[in-house]
Amino acid sequence: DASDKLGFFTSEEESVNVEVAITHKGEGQVVGVGVIATDNRGQEKATWAMRERSMGHCLLDYAEAVKIAMVKVRAQYWSAINIGITDQQLLRQLRSGRSKDIRLFAQVEEINSLRSMFRQCSFYLLQDEQRLRSRHISLYATCILFDEERLVP
C-alpha cells in the first residue's frame, strides 16, 4: 500500500514503551546510558548501551539521555512511544515546558522539539524498582568503548 511507504500509520499501530537510565562512573565524567524499548506485552524490541561525557549535572545528563533515546527509537520508525522518566523534576519540566535553569530549559526545548517526530509521544513517571534492566545496561555502558545496539526482530 502506498500510504505505508509514505509513513502513514494505522490506528492499530502498537505503542512502544521506552525506559531510560543513566549511571555515573568515577568522578562523574562518564555517563552510561541504558535504554530498553518494549512492546505493550513487555517483550523487548531493542536495547541500547551508550557511553557519554557528563555535562556536570545529573539532571542535564538524564535529559541528554532522553534525547539520545528518542533519536534511537525514531530511527526504528516507531511513531507511538511512551517514555518512562525516573526523575520527577525533569518530568515536571517536560510537562510545563518551563525551567529556571537556562541549560535545562534548552534541553527541555530540544526534547519537546523531538516529540514532533512522533505521531504520539508521552512521558510518565517510572519508579526506580521498575527499571532494573535499563539500570544494569547503563552500568555496563560505563565500561564500553563503542555504543551497542541490540534489535529484536
Checking if the pLDDT of 1 tops 80, the result is: no
pLDDT tens per residue across span 11-42 = 456 899 999 999 999 776 999 999 999 999 99
At residue 28, the pLDDT reads 67
Q: What is the mean predicted confidence (pLDDT) over 95-121? A: 90
pLDDT tens per residue across span 126-153 = 887 677 889 999 999 999 999 999 998 7
pLDDT tens per residue across span 54-72 = 999 999 999 999 999 999 9
How far apart CA 147 and CA 90 sit, in angstroms, is 25
At residue 102, the pLDDT reads 87
Checking if the pLDDT of 89 tops 70, the result is: yes
The pTM of this model reads 0.87
Considering only residues 82 and 4, tell me which one the structure prediction assigns the higher pLDDT.
82
Considering only residues 96 and 60, tell me which one the structure prediction assigns the higher pLDDT.
60
